[in-house]
Amino acid sequence: MTTAPLDAQFDLHPGPGDPHGGWLPRYGSAGMRTYVGRVLGAERTALAPSVQALATYIEDNEVVRRLANNACAECLAIVDMHSPRIGDVDALLHGFNTILTHAPGFIDGELIGLPFPALMADIGRTASGAALFRQPTVNLLMSNILNDWHAFLDSPASNVGFRVDGEQWLSATAKERYRFPLWSKDAGTPPYWKSWNAFLTRTFQHPAQARPVADPESNRTVVCPTDGAPVRDDVFRLGSRHCTLADLLATSVPQQQALVDYYRLVDLFEGGRVFQTTLGPYDYQHWWAPVHGEVLFDPFTIPGRFASGVIVIRTADHGHVCCIPLGMGAASSIVFDPAMRRGARVHKGQEMGMFNGGGASFALFFEKLPGKELLFLNADGVRCSRHSLSIGAQIGAWYVRK
């Protein structure tokens, strides 16, 4: 696969109606234009070390410098551009530097939840821009910048959107979207949460009431591992791209590849079923076990161009389930619960982990079993809606194949 960290953020959710799953407004909106203008017009300060490392690499590498300069020139030449223009490499670098201290927030009621893609919406459309951010070293340096941004989102400075009731994330509209009363908080008064990530990874005050686990004692049924919207059955999509399990399990870490090969994971799930959900900014960012079973091996996070984790659960009578959380860029956004270890017994609805920094998607791969068939049906026996699903709700049931 050749998906850069920012590419994954650009194209989180399929479909022309809402290509960013609610994390960004439509391309060219008033809020997007205003945000990009503010970033490019901000007072310039000394570059953070991670941004300076990218600047130095561009300056020292003739091919990369040419791509960067061409990307800016091509960006300026786009006829239908709706946002203020990134005129040169310095503007791009200082834009990154400015965003390092920006938390997701609202402009005129429009959520700018992915600041880097918002800035790069135009330059990313150019041929040279796409080639630039496919360069392996540029990719790595951009990951380091995103890691610094995630560190900021863990700091108290990032809770600016939670300091005044009635504004930003505490507006009546936003509160209704994420159902403010449901959640545990760090304080009883604003800013309520100590950081942006504390808000994003918030937990329910009463989990059993907010998200009851369907059919909790039976393994014949499967529950949804996340809040989110379902994607087409049996086709895994990363944005607009179809991916195979082999794509998702490809890793440069020898120990991880050894596990994939030892358990023959690609072959194990050949011909089986696939269920995928995509997450938005208002969704619960934790993931729960979809079945009862035993953890096959210590879960791991695959380094590289997008954040993906791997955990496999072996059930007693319905084969194996491969669970793959996908974050929005840096590998640090995948956080497994410490209880998820090789040989651990897990029960349906038990926490497996969370997205620290925001999740893009979650996929379940099911083993094909002789004489049995998994049908994706809810508790009423009908196909799961294309609208939002709740974590813990039934998404499927096993039947004897006739």
Distance CA 93, CA 90 (A): 5
User: pLDDT at residue 19 above 90?
Assistant: no
For CA atoms 95, 112, 334, 315, the dihedral sign is negative
With contact defined as beta carbons under 8 Å apart, do 116 and 146 qualify?
A: yes
Residue 99 phi, psi dihedral angles, 5° rounding: -65, -25
**The two structure tokens encoding residue 109:** 């009621």
State residue 140's pLDDT score. 86
Average pLDDT of the chain, as a whole number: 89
What's the pLDDT tens digit per position in 113-142? 999 989 998 898 899 999 999 898 998 899
- CB 196 within 8 Å of CB 103: yes
To the nearest 10°, the Cα dihedral for 117, 119, 125, 130? Answer: -70
Per mean pLDDT, which range of 157-161, 249-253, 265-269, 332-336 is the poorest? 332-336
Range of lowest pLDDT (183-187, 263-267, 381-385): 381-385
pTM of the model: 0.88
pLDDT of residue 386: 67
Q: What is the reported pLDDT for 4?
A: 34
- Of the candidates 256, 363, 364, 235, the one whose C-alpha atom is nearest the C-alpha of residue 302 is 256
What gap in Å lies between CA 242 and CA 233, rounded to an integer?
12
The pLDDT tens digits for 294-339 are 999 999 998 765 678 999 999 999 999 999 999 876 545 799 999 9
Q: Report how far residue 248's alpha carbon sits from residue 268's, in angstroms, rounded to the nearest whole number.
A: 14
